[in-house]
Structure 1
Amino acid sequence: MFSGAEPLVIGVAPIYLLLGNNFYFYYSGVRPLTDGTELLVGRDGELSWLVGWIRDVAAGRGHAVLVDGEPGIGKSALVRAACAAAAAAECQVFWGAGDELGQALPLLPLLDALEITPGSRDPRREAISKLLRGGAVAGQGTDLAAAASEQLIALVDELCEDRPAVLVVDELQWADRTTVAVWSRLARSVRQLPLLLIGVLRPVPRRDDLRSLFRLVGAAERLRLGRLADPAVLELVAALAGGKPGEELAQLADGAAGNPLYLTELVDALSRSSCLAVDTAGVVELTGAATPDSLPEAIADRLGFLPEQAQGVLRAAALLGVGFSVADLVTVTDTPLAELLPALDEARAAGVLVAAGDDLAFRHPLIREALYDEMPTAVRVAWHQAAAWALAEASAPVERVARQLLPMVSTTDSRVPVPAWAVRWLLKVATLLIGQAPVVAVALLRRAVRDAPLDDAVTGALACRLADAYYRVDNIAQAERIASRALDRVRDPDVRVDLHTTVVQCRGSTGRAAESLDALDEALTQPGLEPRHRAKLLVLIARTHRDLGDVATAGEVATAALVELGPAEDRWATGWALHLLSLAAMSRGDWDGALPLFERAMAIVRGDPALIDLTLLLRINQSVTLGALDRLTEALAAAAQARELADRTGSAVRLAQAQGTIGQVLLGAGRWDDALTEVDVVPDDRKEPAVACGDHGVAAIIHFHRGETADAHRRLDLAALHAERLGDRVVDPLARARGLAFEHAGAPDRALAVLTAAMTGEDVSQELLAEAARLAAAAGDKQIVVEIEARVSALAAESPIPHRSALALYCRGLLEQDGTMLLRAADGYRDAGRPLSRARALEAAAVAFAQDRDDDRGSARTAFTHATDVYAELEAQWDVARLRAMFRAFGIRRGPTVKHRQATHGWDSLTPTEGRIAALVVEGMSNPQIAARLYLSPRTVGTHVSHILTKLGVHSRIDIAREAARHQS
């Protein structure tokens, strides 16, 4: 490509390029360099790769690409040229960049790229903007950046639905970790989207999360730009200087180490100094004068040619970052736009600034760095403080003000105090800042607490918020230390209750809940407490007892809290007290009594942003309760509501819990393919240990029943990585999976031991009790079956829930070897919507009939056939094979085999849900649209689409449509 002497010039005139297979691109209008042109020389090979990927994305096949190299090597120019080609191919192009000043603030490059601004006419963009500014949620437990991440991913999905898109994040090495995480998520989904995702970055700093991107992308989609080759250096210098470089100029250019930016600045500096002359042969010669010895010196030379007024404006702009809003520049300089325009025009004419959409930007980050670094640190910090004050007074978004305050706390001069106005501003926005950028909140609040007077009432409020921020960044020890120290000097009862709440959370999360009880009891005796304060403290005591496993006492104290509250209104105390009462009911198996408590609590906390976490807990436990009452459809709906709210508010912990609840309900309902998908939607590193163990336990149970032993043991190994942190805590699905592992290994006695060891406590699942009864009956240990039967019969008598009554019949049938009773149990499980339990009961009935002295072979064959059919519908091949072997010993053979899915690849291997999703993909629907149609989450749909692509062996959604047409023909 681009053979010949003429370089590719972007922005001077339109150029048509033939790029293979009669595929044309029209290049024009990218960001200019010094004189309005942008030269791209010596990058033919790299550009051809990018153009090939653009061709792919235009055809519906996405890619994730990393372009890396040293500063000034031409990374951005190369990608801009590719973006011009993409725009000519009618692709959408979105460009954002990281910034060293803003790297602690989440998502700024993506917000800039996707034009997320207040007042946007696009509803999705406006919703994201409102979310990040606390307009939707900002309560405890919310992570605004995580919530916005989900919304951004959904927005990209919708944009790609309109037409193919290119999304570039330049200066990725300065991007915050949330941006990098979103980039990684998008990179994993490019097979599903017509998206070319490009990350542009320098070799350093090389953080762990950035290294993971290189592993994710792989060598095939990585472009590393090195120095220009000597012929390309001479070609570039010739284009910049207006003629063939002479010997001296060529030698001087050789010292630029093939760096295009250095070459550009060097030649421009020589030109400004009138040090270049073109002879009659068109050779450019040096005419003397000093030349810049380095790239920084060359940039300084360019800036030195500007008037002092323009340099002052540029220094103020440098405080705002590489890209900046002209409105913000007007605010921080307190200068009318009309007075700024001459300086800005001069800076643009000199090649220092360029247009960037509706805003301005420094032509290259190194130019901005030169301006910024020449200011003494003390002066720079003072300017930042002044800029922060001006932006705060103008009610600028929180992140813009915080960005200007951060240099104050990052300077090595710890004597720089936090201004009084900044303390007041921090108190006002602390909750929002913690939700949006907890790391930034820690840095600013820590310095504010240090500088505030020890006896100032403001200090206690600041310390309270600082402890919250430390808790959010998982520095539990520091959060507890700060909250405990503040309790020694704070007297305001509202602040003290908040501090006690933080201490209780910290100690509970580190297994030291008991340490809180004495302090809370003492707090109740303090003078000046109102009923709402006492009620809140009683709730904290109840929560502590709950953490210690004493749920009954927790319920009693929660009742006392409601009595203490009386007619006074406090949504937090009332909601938490009702939640604790519902947990007490659940623990003793009183599901009917728990459900109205959830409904009362939900009515109280609904819509309160400060109670989002409690709302999620209530909804998740409501789903568990509905599942226990055999109201499986309602249980899934409640868990889906919790999932949607957790996604929307960025509550990663509750999202994982909601997904785990959905997985367990689907397991019981026999929707095993869907269960396998749901438990993998959230990655393990975002789950609590119990949730991760439960999810892997669900998957292992399914794999064992399906005879996929290797996959089942892989799941158990993954669960073991988390189980160490649980201590003696029992995770029901994991215990059942471990029992199945011993059964598969031919050790049913050890399987029974695992299950009986897990039967402690009142809240043991009915499924675990049924499995233990089955194994005990098979082993001839009737005593265990008797104990289980007495336990479940008592529960069934109290609350005749279908699966409870079925379990009581099942246990009695096992004890009495009564086939008819076991068939009644199977009917009860059918009514309860629990196919695996039904198959177990039918199997036991068939065995009872086969062992009957009256030789009831007909009933045995019928029960055996029905059990086999149910197992086959679940694709439980291990159970089918085991059952057939068992009944061959009785001389009973089943009839025709039930047809089930055998294929592992191709269209016939798709599950029913995958088939429905594939059909909607063929219709052209995006993942969010499919999610809305099928009442799934976009994450779940994305996982399904990934499975579809793998099973069909294709690379894009367009390929799915082709496969569908081929299958139908």
Structure 2
Amino acid sequence: MSQRNLEDNLDRSRVPGIRVVAPPHGREAELRVVEDVISTIEAGARANVVVLQSDQGSGKTWLLERVAALAARRGFAVVDGMSPSVATGRPVSLVGGRTVRGEDDRIAVLAAGCEAQVCGRLRNEPVLVVLDDVHWVEPALLHAIGLVMAKLGAAPVLWVFALDTAHAESANGQLLHSLVRRQRVQRLGPLERLSGAAVVSLVQGLTGATPDPDVIALCESVGGEPQSVVDLVLALRQEQSLVVNGGVVELADGALTTDVPSRVEAEPGARLPAAFVRMVRSRLGRLSLRCREVLQVAAVLGDRFPPQDLAEMLGERTSHLLGPLQEAIRAGVIDSDGDEFTFHREPVWLVVLGTVPALLRSLLHRQAATMLVEQGRADAAAVHVVHFVKPGDEDALRIIRDAAAGLLPTAPRTAAALAIRGLEIAPPGSDDRLVLATSAVAALVRMGNLGAAVDLATEQLGTCGESASSSLRTWLATALMLRGDESAAQGVLAGGGDTRDPLPDLLLLNTFSGEERREVVAMAERVLAEPGSHGDAVRAAALTVRARVRWREGELSEALATAEEAIAVQPGLPEVCQVDPLWMRAWMLTRVRRLDDAFETAEQARRVIDEHNLGVLVSLPLALRAEVRLVQGDLAAAEADATAGLRAAERAGTSVYEPQLRAVLVMVSLRRGDLAAATRHLRRLEDRVPGGPPVLLRCLLSALLTAAGRGVREAMGELREVVGDACSRRRLVLEDPSSTSWVVRTALGAGEADHAELVVVTAEEIAAGNPGHSAFAAAARHGRALLEDDVTGLAGLEDLYGEDVWAAASLVEDRGSMLRAEDRDRAMSELDQAMERYDDLGAAWDAARVRRKLRRLGVRRRHWNHETRPDSGWESLTTAEGKVAALVAQGMTNQQVATGLFVSPHTVGFHLRQIYRKLGIRSRVDLARIAP
């Protein structure tokens, strides 16, 4: 297809949103070679030849059109020997209409016509001659072109030929080789199929949006030729099969069913768009009948198949498959992958499978299942059994049931698909149905589909009643616990109705909870007092509860030792989703500032999760890593991990680790000075966990934001109750070593020295009881120095804080603040050093606070960052104006905004006037109304 034809097919009036595509998606390297050749011709070199040799359908014509367009832009006249037109200029056909007797005479006439056309153009500009599909060209024309090439060897002409690899040794292929062997030749090809970034770029050019994985998979399944991708996207848009959401183009009918779930579907490829199915079937139609039949049987075996299984299914020798399989490989339908063949992409496999009539497909599945069972591969046979099993077929149901249970630890996605399909077949009230339901729910929990797990378990419990297994109840309770609904989980276990003691299960589930209720602690001690009466998983859970209790009591070394004991006891394959001893150890190590060990423990948790396919817990190591990176001062990495963790939690429906993830984002936003974003994250945390376990964490974060926005007196209003309670106060100090100095500083600023004294005494008690943990010793001494206004008490604390960059920076800031009255020069030096540290960390909020202190000493430190902006609209606001606008839109007064941004109310008023002018509004009400 020529470029002009391509553009006609992309008529925007008929297909809104489609753009004409010119960029060389995936063919940049080839075009760079051609561009270099063009440059040499422009520099005065003689004629050059480019030979493009690649497989049929790989995009040779598409590339030649881009070569023609490139040459035309560089001032070349384009002479096209085959196509009726190309993108630019007025190309001339080399094939004349005159017929002459005698081959030599005909060649001479063709050569004369070709020479006339080329030379006529050469008078004004260099020339590009393009000849596509050389293998189909009349030999006389090739001979004629050879004569002209030899005659014009010193002229600025670029000759480009394209040849199908399959015809490289044909008469025309050999003739072309002979003609160009004395020329300066650049050889291109073979062209690789478009995939990955090239497909994404091409679809972006067509739709103006980024394709999602399903759209990419479809585009990579139509042969890898650019024009095929263009045609597919065009057809999908014409049939309204694509939608754009948030800058992402996706399938209008929802995500495709992939992997094992697609293998057990009754109707293969039912969700594939019709336009895609037509295109793939058209490609299949160009294959021989023998090749298509072999592929259909292969498709029944799956998207990947061993050739020996295919040969057995066909009742043939493997050697007899050589021809049809090679044909399918050349056509890009299948690939060779080690000991197996694979369909090029799963959507291609589904289309091929869909061409097999339903009755024959069922019979072939039965044949495949029989073959696999005889080979001792019952798990593999189960995928086929679901396609022909009838109600009451106990042997077939047993294969499905056993396969689902066996695959649960290693392949939960496969187990879920098999078990759910088996439930559609199993008779109501049968034992098979209960076993399948338990396997399905367990698999859904492990893979991270909690919503489906809860729905399925609830439905099955409603039909099974008292006969429901405790295992099914345990998995339902696990799902509820991971969703953050602890009370519902306890209710499920308590209402079991069986004779087995549900308390050990409850104990296991409580490893997901951050609180230590009395009954849970008592249960843990009872388990640990009876060494041989419980399994390793239950003992590990009991030790984890004991470790948490010891931590909360201020016994830090004992708590860490107990957590490590729990890790050692925990079984290699968890009975339920249990990696909490690792979580507890990483959490504790972060607080004692052994950050490298904490990070490695988080990675260990990630490896356990990956090894046991616990997709439901993917957010856990991300939460642990985000906390470590925050303490290390890497705000960008902390934000990235926390954001990824929230996305993973949202996909799985898991909220149990969301407080930790949200807390990191609150602190990152606060450090950067984005109080509006910090407030949004805190509100999301409060919405998700209104009265849940992390009450103390939420209280501390809220007080931090209150102090930033409304001042320390308001902040103490939120902290006073916590500080006044001995247990809560101890937990507050243990939550973060640097929290001691912040609370003391806040209490003193609010004129509440008595509360500051309480916090310092508690910190000193913890430090005295844990001499091996220097971070808490530093926190206690830091708090005491602030309380007594003793700058000498801060000496040597930075080393004790270790890797805590924020505590170290605040220590320097405190030294500067305490020296202001007695040693102005040294105070300025310390504050300058603190500001430099905060700037290096990207902590704009902290740096602004230090700048305000320096201003009060008569020193101005500015941080200029000029950006070109439009004159009006939201994009016209400066960074400072944007922060003011966001806070005012939330209802803050000028004084509150000034406090949060460490500027004067007068400055806030000035910024507001600029904001009103740029946005064309007159009041705060207008600002709140139009705020994004």
TM-score range, shorter chain: 0.5 to 0.7
- Asked whether the equivalents of residues 403 and 415 of structure 2 are also in contact (C-alpha less than 8 Å), the reply is no
Determine helix, strand or coil for the equivalent of 2:515.
coil
The answer to whether the Cα contact below 8 Å between 2:550 and 2:556 also exists between their aligned partners in 1 is yes
Give the TM-score, by structure 2 length: 0.57
**Are the aligned partners of 2:507 and 2:538 in contact in 1 as well (CA < 8 Å)?**
no
Structure 1 unaligned blocks of 5 or more: 6-15, 32-37, 53-79, 97-155, 157-164, 172-178, 188-196, 219-258, 266-294, 410-415, 906-969
Q: 1:433 to 1:693 in 2, by over 3 A?
A: same
Structure 1 residues 264 and 213: alpha-carbon distance in aligned structure 2, compared to 1, 3 A threshold: closer
Q: Distance in 2 between matches of 1:166 and 1:791?
A: 61
User: What's the counterpart of residue 498 of structure 1?
Assistant: 471
* C-alpha contact 1:595 1:625 (8 A) present in aligned 2: yes
Alignment of 1:19-168 (within 5 A): 19-22=34-37, 24=50, 26-29=52-55, 45=65, 93=192
Indicate the residue corresponding to 1:391 in structure 2.
Answer: 372
> Aligned AA for 1:662?
R
1:166-204 CA distances to partner (integer Å, 9 max, x unpaired)? Answer: 899999xxxxxxx9659989x9xxxxxxxxx98995655
1:596 maps to which residue?
Answer: 561
Distance 2:534 2:346 in 1: 58
**Correspondence 1:614 to 2:591:** no
1:817 aligns with 2:789: yes
Q: How far did 1:796 drift?
A: 2.8
Deviations for 1:793-852, whole angstroms, at most 9, x for unmatched residues?
A: 33333324323233333333333333333x15x71674443332234344445444545x
Amino acid paired to 1:776: A
RMSD: 5.9
- Deviation at residue 904 of structure 1 after TM alignment: 11
Relative distance call for 1:440 and 1:169 in structure 2 (3 A) is farther
CA distance in 1, matches of 2:232, 2:782: 64
The 2-side partners of 1:264 and 1:459 are apart by 39
Match 2:713 to one of 749, 759, 769: 749
Asked if the contact 2:416–2:444 (Cα under 8 Å) also holds between the matched residues in 1, the reply is yes
1:291-302 aligned within 5 A: none
Gaps of 5+ in 2: 6-29, 39-49, 73-162, 169-185, 204-210, 220-227, 251-274, 869-932
Letter in 1 for 2:584: N
**Residue 698 (structure 1) shift:** 3.1
Out of 397, 422, 429, the residue aligned to residue 423 of structure 1 is 397
Looking at structure 2, the residues matched to 451 and 332 of structure 1 have their Cα atoms a distance apart, in angstroms, of 26
Question: Are the equivalent residues in 2 in contact too, given 1:679–1:699 (CA < 8 A)?
Answer: yes
Name 1:827's counterpart in structure 2.
797
Q: Per-residue deviation at 1:460?
A: 3.6
Deviation, 1:719, is 5.6
Deviations 1:606-637 (A, max 9, x none): 6x23469534x322321121222232232222
How far apart are the structure 2 equivalents of 1:850 and 1:366? 74
Opposite residue 399 of structure 2, the aligned amino acid is W
Structure ID, larger Rg: 2
Q: Is the 8 A contact 1:483 1:500 kept in 2?
A: no
Q: Is the 8 A contact 1:663 1:678 kept in 2?
A: yes
**How far does residue 777 in structure 1 lie from its aligned partner after superposition?**
1.0
- Could you report, residue by residue, the CA deviation over 1:580-616 in whole angstroms, capped at 9, with x for unpaired residues? 322333344432222112221222236x23469534x
- Between the aligned partners of 1:211 and 1:719, the Cα distance in structure 2 is 33
Aligned partner of 2:461 among 481, 484, 499: 484
- 1:913-952 pair list within 5 angstroms: none
Q: How many residues align?
A: 668
Q: In structure 2, what residue type is equivalent to 1:506?
A: A
The 5-angstrom pairing of residues 89-488 of structure 1 reads 93=192, 181=213, 203=235, 211=243, 215-216=247-248, 316-317=297-298, 319-320=300-301, 325-333=306-314, 335-337=315-317, 356-357=335-336, 359=341, 372-373=354-355, 375=357, 377-394=358-375, 401=381, 403-405=383-385, 407=387, 416-417=390-391, 419-431=393-405, 433-434=407-408, 441-449=415-423, 451-452=425-426, 457-471=431-445, 472=447, 473-474=449-450, 475-481=452-458, 484=461, 488=465
SS at match of 1:609: coil
Paired letter, 1:750: E
Q: In the aligned structure 1, how far is the partner of 2:61 from the partner of 2:832?
A: 75
SS at match of 1:549: coil
- Which position in structure 1 is the counterpart of 2:542? 577
Deviates more, 1:505-514 or 1:726-735: 726-735
1:763 to 728, 731, 734: 731
Write the deviation string for residues 376-430 of structure 1: whole angstroms up to 9, x where unpaired.
x4553343233234334435695x6465356559xxxxxx437434323333332
Cα 1:748–1:721 change in 2 (3 A) is same
**How many angstroms apart in 1 are the aligned matches of 2:229 and 2:640?**
29
Cα distance in 2, alignment partners of residues 363 and 791 from structure 1: 63
Q: Determine the C-alpha separation between the residues in 2 that align with 1:666 and 1:332.
A: 56
Change (3 A) 1:360 1:676: closer
CA–CA separation in structure 1 for the residues paired with 2:239 and 2:695? 36
What percentage of residue pairs aligned between the two structures are identical?
A: 18
The SS at the match of 1:727 is: coil
SS across alignment from 1:469: helix
For 1:966, the equivalent position in structure 2 comes to none
Q: Deviation of residue 864 (structure 1)?
A: 4.8
- Secondary structure of the structure 1 residue equivalent to 2:400: helix
Give the SS at the match of 1:614: coil
Mapped partners of 2:325, 2:639: distance in 1: 62
- Residue 323 of structure 1 deviates from its aligned partner by 7.6
1:784 & 1:83 partners in 2: Cα distance? 86
> d(CA) in 1 for partners of 2:720 and 2:497?
42
What is the TM-score when the length of structure 1 is the normalising length? 0.55
1:85-120: CA deviations, max 9, x gaps?
A: 9x9868995799xxxxxxxxxxxxxxxxxxxxxxxx
Q: In the aligned structure 2, how far is the partner of 1:713 from the partner of 1:215?
A: 25
1:558 aligns with 2:535: no
Whether the 8 Å CA contact 1:693–1:731 is kept in 2: the answer is no
Q: Which amino acid aligns with 1:559?
A: E
**Aligned to 2:631, which of 668, 691, 695?**
668
Name the CA shift for 1:569/1:206 in 2 (closer, same or farther; >3 Å): farther
The 3 A distance-change label for structure 1 pair 264 and 422 is closer
| Aligned counterparts of 1:508 and 1:41: Cα–Cα separation in 2 | 59
For residues 295-347 of structure 1, what are the alpha-carbon distances to aligned partners after superposition, in whole Å with 9 as ceiling and x for unaligned? 89x96xx99x969xx997675345346886533323434x24269659x7699
Kept in 2, the 8 Å contact 1:813–1:819? The answer is yes
Shift of 1:557: 0.7
Of residues 860-869 and 625-634 in structure 1, the stretch that sits farther from structure 2 once superposed is 860-869
Contact 1:460 1:486 in 2 (8 A): no
Contact 2:55 2:165 (C-alpha < 8 Å) held by counterparts: no
User: Structure 1 residue 709 and structure 2 residue 735: aligned?
Assistant: no
Correspondence 1:794 to 2:765: yes
Q: Cα–Cα, structure 1 residues 182 and 577, in superposed 2: closer, same or farther, change >3 Å? A: farther
Q: Secondary structure at the match of 1:27?
A: strand
Where does residue 514 of structure 1 map in the other structure? 487
> Structure 2 matches for 1:583-732, cutoff 5 A?
583-605=548-570, 608-610=572-574, 613-615=577-579, 617-647=580-610, 651-672=614-635, 674-680=637-643, 682=645, 684-686=647-649, 688-689=654-655, 691=657, 694-695=660-661, 697-705=663-671, 708-710=672-674, 713-714=676-677, 716-717=679-680, 720-721=683-684, 723-729=686-692, 730=694
Compared with structure 1, are the counterparts of its residues 440 and 486 closer, same or farther at alpha carbon in structure 2 (3 Å cutoff)? farther
CA distance in 2, matches of 1:3, 1:666: 52
Instruction: Assess, with a 3 A threshold, how the Cα gap between structure 1 residues 738 and 88 changes in structure 2: closer, same or farther.
Output: farther
Question: Corresponding residue for 1:885?
Answer: 852
Shift of 1:779: 1.6
